[in-house]
Amino acid sequence: MAALNGTWVLEKSENFEEFMKELGVGLILRKVGNTVTPTLIISNNGNEWSIKMRSTFKNTDDNFTLGEEFDDETTDGRKIKCLYNLDGDKLICEQRDRKTRALQVTAVRSVDENGKMVEVLTCKTVVAKRYFKRVE
């Protein structure tokens, strides 16, 4: 899925505050989340992937193998199990609570016809979209 490889900067978000609210993120972290402009650095070598998020708030590094669940911690501090898979041209991540195994978030990343990366985030019935432009 070479189309996702590269460096991406957030351009705009839709419904992101409502998404964070549904997820249980507190007011102050929601305000921070809406003002931060993260950069994502995505690369892969076959089924081995790396997604690095850089921002003025927090940096994260996820290295994973498609189809293999791993422990992770979100930027808001939730401890989760994460599972990535490809579905055609979409990279799909399922985030589940480590203890209850309940699905918390589904994140789908793909590149649209204009060359923008679109991230669709779903928590229960709330859907947010984030749009990124390629910088490298």
Render pLDDT for 34-80 as a digit per residue (tens, 0 to 9).
888 999 999 999 999 999 999 988 898 999 999 999 999 888 788 99
For 77-118, how does the pLDDT look when each residue is reduced to its tens digit (9 = 90+)? 889 999 999 999 999 999 999 999 999 999 999 999 999 999
In sequence order, what are the residues at sequence separation of 6 or more whose Cβ sits closer than 8 angstroms to the Cβ of residue 109? Answer: 4, 90, 91, 92, 93, 117, 118, 119, 120
Q: What pLDDT shows up at residue 2?
A: 78
Task: Please check the confidence at residue 1 and state whether its pLDDT lies above 70.
Answer: no
Which helix or strand (DSSP H or E) is residue 60 part of? strand 60-65
CA distance 122 to 134: 23
Question: Phi and psi dihedrals of 73, rounded to 5?
Answer: -130, 130
| 3-class DSSP state of 52 | strand
Of 95, 117, 93, 97, nearest in space to 107 by CA: 93
Residue 80 structure tokens: 């989760």
CA distance 43 to 3: 10
Check if the beta carbon of residue 73 is closer than 8 Å to that of residue 79.
yes
